[in-house]
Structure 1
Amino acid sequence: MTAALLAQEGPWTDAEYLALGETGCRVELFDGSLHLTHAPTPRHQYISRRLATTLDPGADAAGLHVLEAVNVRLHSGRIPIPDLVVTGDIDFDELVIDGAVVRLVCEITSPSNAATDQVLKMHYYATARIPWYLLVEQESGTLRLYRLDGSHYVEHAVAKVGDTLRFTEPVAVEIRPESLLPGR
């Protein structure tokens, strides 16, 4: 993969990005440029798995799917890999999910990627008209649920450790932040 990254001149197309195949790090495409990050920490992955498990029953009841770390095409040249998505019907064998079927996107922030999740990705997800955005602050466990209002997100609900986040769209669920954190 390194040779392919170094040999590329100019902006990356969706096809060139997808031709990279599986990599040892997370590679996302933003407006023709690659964004590389290290593999997530064990804490991040623990939270992701617990959150997916929490969302699964509500998603199943609503006829939706919970998926971790999949390619989502928001626009040509924009293919992020959100930590979790809740989607409608998809083709489980496709490399990319169309952003139009994503109902909820979740990102688990850490000090190294907080700005990307809170600014860049939030903007791109809103532009793609994804109705709900959930940010999980991995250190504190704080959950911030945003809903799409016009062309941007507005904060819908916040839950800190000791609180419960309740929502009914796109899935009915109650989440206690401490239930997502290791060692609690």
Structure 2
Amino acid sequence: MTAAIFGHPGPWTEEEFLALGETPDRVELFDGSLSVTPAPTPRHQRISSELYVVLSPAAEAAGLHVLEAINLRLRPGRIPIPDLVITDDIDFDQLVIDASAVRLVCEIISPSNPSADRVLKMHFYAQAGIPWYLLVEQRTGELHLYRREGDHYLEHSITRRGQVLRLVEPVTAEIDPERLLPPT
């Protein structure tokens, strides 16, 4: 796998990217370039799992779906792997989900590269038309919710420990930052 990635000449096409298949690393495609990151930390996975537990019943009640770590096509040649999404009905056997089916995208901010989630992906998700963007701080559980306005996101709310995020779109749910974090 590593040889296939680093020995590749020139920009990557979407077809070449998809031909890599499943990998133990998180491999994303951004306009001909690959971004490769190792598997997430246990803290990251705890947060993702707890979000899934909270959002899944709410999504089901709204006729939507919650999915973790899927290939998300924002446009041809641009396929990130967000930590969590809430989607409309989709084909569960497709390798890639189109952004038009996504109502909310969530990223758990990587301490090693926070600008990827706070700037790059935020910009790309807004351009793709995804209505809601949720960012989660790994250390504090702080939740930053953004609503799309035009081609960018505006901050809708910040929820800190001791507070509760009350979502009304795309699902009705309450997220407690304390619950997301591992026990101390």
Is this a same-fold pair by TM over 0.5? Answer: yes
- In the other structure, the counterpart of 1:166 is 166
Give the Cα separation in 1 of the matches to 2:87 and 2:32: 25
Structure 1 stretches of at least 4 aligned residues deviating more than 3 Å after TM superposition: none
Q: What is the RMSD of the two structures over their aligned residues, measured on CA atoms?
A: 0.8
1:82 is paired with a residue whose SS is coil
The aligned residue for residue 53 of structure 2 is: 53
Could you tell me which amino acid in structure 2 is paired with residue 173 of structure 1? A
Tell me if the contact between 1:13 and 1:32 (Cα under 8 Å) persists in the aligned partners: yes
In 2, distance between residues paired with 1:74 and 1:6? 24
Identical aligned pairs, as a percentage?
A: 66
- 5+ residue gaps, structure 1, are none
- 2:19 maps to which residue? 19
Q: CA deviation at 1:22?
A: 1.0
Aligned residue for 1:18, secondary structure, equals helix
* Cα shift readout 1:86-130 (whole Å, capped 9, x = no counterpart): 000111001000011000000001311211000000000000000
Q: Distance in 2 between matches of 1:178 and 1:6?
A: 41
| Cα displacement (A) at 1:11 | 1.1
Cα deviation for residue 151 of structure 1 reads 0.9
Output the TM-score relative to the length of structure 1: 0.98
Q: What secondary structure sits across from 1:129 in the alignment? A: coil
Please name the residue that 1:178 is paired with.
Answer: 178
- Residue pair 1:30, 1:79 contacting (<8 A) in 2 also: yes
* Map 1:72-83 → 2, pairs under 5 A: 72-83=72-83
**CA–CA distance in structure 1, aligned partners of residues 112 and 80 of structure 2:** 17
Paired AA for residue 107 in structure 1? E
User: SS at the partner of 2:154?
Assistant: strand
| TM-score, scaled relative to structure 2 | 0.98
CA separation in 2, counterparts of 1:129 and 1:90?
A: 17
Where in structure 2 are there 5+ consecutive unaligned residues? none
State the aligned residue count.
184
